[in-house]
Amino acid sequence: MQLSDLVDRIPEDRRERARIALSAAFGRSPVTSLEPITSGASASSYKIEVGGRLYLLRLESSRRDEVRDPCRSYLCMRAAAEAGIAPAVRHADPAAAVAITDFVSECPLSDYAGGTAAVVRDLGGLVSRLQAIPAFPPVFDYPSMIGILLGRLLDSGLFAPGLLDRHRKGFERIREAYRWDNETLVSSHNDLNPGNILFDGNRLWLVDWETAYRNDPLVDVATLSTFFAASPELEVALLRSWLGREPGRLVRARLGLMRQLVRLFYGCAASLNAADTPAGMVPAADLSTFTREQFRDAIAQGRLIAGSPEAQRIVGKMALANFLASLATPEFEDALVVARA
């Protein structure tokens, strides 16, 4: 099959961008396979083979907002690749919003030597390496971005009136207690969910740099703790690996508050992403939804597609429910006191 035949599988509105990028990256070398990757909500991605090697062709959507900007995200992606944190970049054209990188053949994290504790330890080290490279370009502070998203969600009609009032009040309390310091901001991925962390059988890679920018050092750590450090022991192991020393009370308190901001970010962003679906058009009367285990089972069994609007809707409700539950804990109140002090 010729290159032109394979590229015809790509939707017409993105086809010419793909042709130009493939030609720029590989010249006349033939593309011998092209396979769509269905996971992911913000780009069209394809596994391609050229010269017996696998690559990832990623075509961004035309959507732009306060954060999504290929000029910045591709710069961040290249810097991370040069530091050995992200796969090598073979082509990146921010004007066309298309990139080609090495493809990571993924192995399950359950096969990781040393188990979950080793995964958490090595992810902490990877974030520490990321934060050591020159700081990414800034966008604006994380709490402000979450405030914008929360405002949009409150005005969206996706949830019954009053259902998110406690979220707004909780967010305001966190914002008041969490001191923001622009002088301490570092290179940050900002979306280290499990789908953006790949294990190739030997090591871990961070991928999908669409929302990368300069941010508070604890944002990536809090995101990892949300998805990977379910116990206090794992949380301490993550912090120890990231810091290179034992974490103090202030760091743990600020991590707890930042984890709440991360939950609210995912709750707002995922809910808004699913807003145009039929289910999203009906205001939710409550936050009842899947447990994390039920969600994982639904994905594994094919009843849900990762990144689909329906999955996004469920993720949003899960995150909002977890945010609300954590507001009611003594640990949250203690974290507010320590962070203010």
Q: Tens digits of per-residue pLDDT, 46-70? A: 999 999 999 999 998 766 666 789 9
**Mean pLDDT, range 246-261, rounded to an integer:** 97
Q: Where are the domains of the chain?
A: 3-102, 117-192+210-340
In this prediction the pTM is 0.92
Q: Which two three-digit tokens encode residue 296?
A: 């994982």
Q: How many residues does the chain have?
A: 341
Q: Which two three-digit tokens encode residue 93?
A: 């054209």
**Mean pLDDT, range 236-244, rounded to an integer:** 97
* Under 8 Å between Cβ of 272 and 149: yes
Q: Tell me, what's the pLDDT at 42?
A: 62
Statement: 3-102 belongs to CATH 3.30.390.50 = no
Look up the CATH architecture of domain 117-192+210-340. Alpha-Beta Complex (3.90)
* Under 8 Å between Cβ of 211 and 90: no
Average pLDDT, the chain: 92
- Give φ, ψ of 218 to 5 degrees: -85, -5
Give the gyration radius of the chain's Cα atoms.
20
Q: Tell me, what's the pLDDT at 39?
A: 64
- In this structure, what DSSP letter does residue 80 have? H
At 140, the pLDDT band (50, 70, 90 cuts) reads: confident
**Mean pLDDT, range 323-341, rounded to an integer:** 96
Which region, left, alpha or beta, applies to residue 115 given φ > 0 means left and ψ of -120 to 50 means alpha?
A: left
Q: Give residue 324's identity as a one-letter amino acid code.
A: L
- Give φ, ψ of 153 to 5 degrees: -65, -40
DSSP3 helix / strand / coil % (the chain, rounded to 5): 50, 15, 35
pLDDT at 27 over 90: yes
* Under 8 Å between Cβ of 214 and 137: yes
Do 3-102 and 117-192+210-340 show the same overall fold? no
pLDDT at 6 over 90: no
Q: What angle do CA 32, 34, 36 make, to 5 degrees?
A: 170
pLDDT at 280 over 60: no
Q: What percent of the chain has pLDDT over 90?
A: 79
Could you tell me whether strands 53-60 and 98-102 are parallel, antiparallel, or unpaired per DSSP bridges?
Answer: antiparallel
d(CA 268, CA 263): 9
**Ranges assigned E (strand) in 114-228:** 186-188, 197-199, 204-206, 213-215
